[in-house]
Structure 1
């Protein structure tokens, strides 16, 4: 690898899942010391940490429920303490994507998605910015949003709304934190492959492949590469941007 993130200390939330695990692995390959947050999926997070250490890298696993504001602040504080008082990159990846018809959706179901996908982003970013603003070079924050922030899907009203808000939060944070050298961006993936997806949703996968100009599903590595770019010196003048990673689906005409 090219060592684009050499010397960085990065916190990746939701690193027990497929996309988060892919992001954390690529950050480590590019030289970053990585803190892998998980709520569930602790076993896979620890397996990745062992692999990183086996390659000569540094990794730490922390567990927390990020719907709790105090837990968000604790995770950031632990990451910075482990990093010798530094935290140069945060990737807000933790999220949920349940399905529910809007007409039958309860406020509790709405809040469960918004608290996980949006409120945790707010709290983690705020805590990380407090660390980054006091260090040379500031830092970078990347939120994992979705193309559903602008292209709604049935049964995903709570998810779509939360991801649209994540995009606007990043732009607002970029505006207010820029003077401290903190860059805030989003990555909006399309459909990312995972084990069992094609068997569970064959019609959806078929329709996606037909709609995508690049004619394939995304991979966690595709999202990870975008995050590496945004956290690296190559993106030193990029902030408030939404980087779409969807194989070209968003380029298709709507009529």
Structure 2
């Protein structure tokens, strides 16, 4: 038996690096995973095929790709949850709100439209998908919801005012949701990653990667699977008394003094 055997999980933004790492770890721990993607359909389908190969099951048994839902649209969020629950035989045990964007834009020149695009994608989507998923979970006696926040919820970076504000709100949404959904057996937490490595990152942002390596206590960048491990823990029975908590996964960067 593994930690999530028999569970059905929905992971948003599963076509990207962190989403892929979360999905891999959920499947490896026995969960069936519904992989949402907006545009990265090919990457999500490749992931579904990989999960099938790893588990020895047919594609579509351990993982299904649910493409196209625009999570800034409330109806699309509800439709996505309904599709995931239908595939799961009427159940949805875990939700990971991973989808998001991280554009760089200086605050003095930022437009209200640019602000709204980030807030709607990173925060309003979390509210809408969680609300829809909770309706399914409460009918079956409970479930878990994990939002992917960021260390920038506490330590903003230049050019990320909209992103940092949205992620800080995501952390508070989880705490509020934990309070209100707790009586229905639904636990809600956040995972706040630090800098997670991805293909081409060192070439695209050499100074930032260098500074992170100098600051991080464990001497390396994060991996998508590091975030996946944290999400598995929070969705598992090991965290049955953990809710309203923000689990920081940053290799110890936030432990370093800033003065």
Partner in structure 1 of residue 2 of structure 2: 3
Per the alignment, residue 26 of structure 2 pairs with: 27
Question: For the residues of structure 2 that align with 1:19 and 1:86, how far apart are their CA atoms?
Answer: 24
Question: Please, which runs of 5 or more residues in structure 1 have no aligned partner?
Answer: none
Per-residue deviation, residues 212-236 of structure 1 (Å, max 9, x unmatched):
1111100000000000000000000
Compute the displacement of 1:3 (Å): 1.2
State how 1:182-193 maps to structure 2 within 5 Å: 182-193=186-197
Distance 1:37 1:234 in 2: 26
Match of 2:36 in 1: 37
Alignment partner, residue 53 of structure 1: 52
TM-score by length of 1: 0.98
| Equivalence for 1:169 | 173
Q: Secondary structure at the match of 2:175?
A: helix
What TM-score, normalized by structure 2, do the two folds share?
Answer: 0.96
For residue 7 of structure 1, give the secondary structure of its aligned residue in structure 2. Answer: coil
TM-superposition CA deviations, 1:78-116 (whole Å, max 9, x none): 001111110000000000000000000000000000000
Unaligned runs of 5+ in 2: none
Q: Which residue in the other structure is 2:12 paired with?
A: 13
Query: Which residue, 81, 86, 95 being the options, matches 2:100?
Result: 95
Shift of 1:53: 2.1
Distance 2:248 2:50 in 1: 29
1:225 to 219, 223, 229: 229
Q: CA deviation at 1:14?
A: 0.1
Counterpart Cα distance in 2 of 1:39 and 1:100: 23
**Separation of aligned partners in 1, 2:51 and 2:257:** 43
Q: Which residue of 1 aligns with 2:66?
A: 62
Q: Structure 1: which 4+ aligned runs deviate by more than 4 Å?
A: none
Superposition RMSD in Å: 0.8
